[in-house]
Amino acid sequence: MERWQGKIAVVTGASAGLGAAISEKLVEEGINVVGFARRKEKIEELAKNIKSKNGAKLHALKVDVTNEEEVVNAFKYISENIGTVSILINNAGIVQLTTLIDGDSNLWKKVLDTNVLGLCIATREAVKIMMKNNIDGHIIHINSLAGHRVPKIPYTNVYSASKYAVTSLAQTLVNELRSKGSKIKVTSLSPGYVETEIAEVNGFLMNAAVRELEAKAPRMYPIDIANAVAYVLSTPPHVEVTELSVQPVGELS
């Protein structure tokens, strides 16, 4: 991890769950983090209680990743006021209580705008900065096992499709970067079930069947994924973990 000391990482969706834990872990490792989220105040609250190494800081920016202008302006603000981005963790993600057979297309669009297009826009902005400054950086997409197999859980239709898109986008990004001779690394990190506010915030726990499944499900905790991110970042420059799946012991494949 030494080579990242004092460098800058952007973490999208840093106000809760995996993004908050990843941000905390990186600051504890001496990496400066700029957290994006709509609830900026939650990132500011988190920043107050972090045990930082070597003066690393957690900065909070109010950014909705579905708003292209906000994302572009945020990267510009970082370059002009904080420094050059070396790491991007594309973590912001949502799931919506909807179906394919009688669903609301606005809910489908929200999922795709956040999980797919938001990720693409943030990636484009970070890669531009890394290439312009000759930085062999690292882009980590927080994918999901739902991006590799369709979960037998109600209402995960468009969510799973969005994560399959992330699997594809990670591979395409590697190919595009290599065609330019870039050494920027790309990792798709695919967790199984992690206990966060994702199910509750998105209304899933209002459904009795899902509530029952959730209560019995083997689970990991956000720190487990933060540790996986730290492992991926700690690999030497010539090693690229292109895909890392992590699931709780007991979860079915």
Ligand X SMILES: NC(=O)c1ccc[n+]([C@@H]2O[C@H](COP(=O)([O-])OP(=O)(O)OC[C@H]3O[C@@H](n4cnc5c(N)ncnc54)[C@H](OP(=O)(O)O)[C@@H]3O)[C@@H](O)[C@H]2O)c1
* Nearest distance in Å: CB 18, ligand X: 4
* Nearest distance in Å: CB 41, ligand X: 9
Q: Which of 91, 123, 167, 187 binds ligand X (CB under 6 A)?
A: 91
Please say if 77 is a catalytic residue. Answer: no
Under the criterion CB under 6 A, does residue 61 sit at the interface with ligand X? no
The rounded distance, in Å, linking the Cα atoms of 127 and 147 is: 23
Under the criterion CB under 6 A, does residue 39 sit at the interface with ligand X? yes
Pair 186, 240: CB distance under 8 Å:
yes
- Which residue among the candidates 159, 193, 221, 231 is catalytic per the annotation? 159
Residue indicated by tokens 């202008």: 69
Q: For 115, left (φ over 0), alpha (ψ -120 to 50), or beta?
A: alpha
What is the pairing mode between strands 185-191 and 58-62? unpaired
The rounded distance, in Å, linking the Cα atoms of 233 and 189 is: 12
The rounded distance, in Å, linking the Cα atoms of 220 and 53 is: 26
Q: Compare residues 65 and 126 and give the one whose CB is closer to ligand X.
A: 65
Site string for ligand X, 142-161 (x = CB under 6 A): x-x-----------------
Backbone phi, psi, residue 112, to 5°: -70, -40
Under the criterion CB under 6 A, does residue 92 sit at the interface with ligand X? yes
The rounded distance, in Å, linking the Cα atoms of 144 and 7 is: 27
The rounded distance, in Å, linking the Cα atoms of 241 and 85 is: 20
Site string for ligand X, 109-148 (x = CB under 6 A): -----x---------------------------x-x----
Scanning 25-33, 34-42, 72-80, 205-213 for contacts with ligand X by CB under 6 A, the matching segment is: 34-42
Helices assigned H by DSSP within the chain: 17-28, 40-48, 68-81, 105-112, 119-132, 157-179, 198-201, 208-216, 222-234
* Nearest distance in Å: CB 86, ligand X: 21
Under the criterion CB under 6 A, does residue 224 sit at the interface with ligand X? no
Q: Compare residues 18 and 186 and give the one whose CB is closer to ligand X.
A: 18
Q: Which of 197, 234, 237, 251 binds ligand X (CB under 6 A)?
A: 197
Under the rule (CB under 6 A), what is the footprint of ligand X? 12-19, 36-39, 63-66, 91-94, 114, 142, 144, 191, 193-194, 196-198, 201
The residues annotated with a catalytic role in the active site are 159
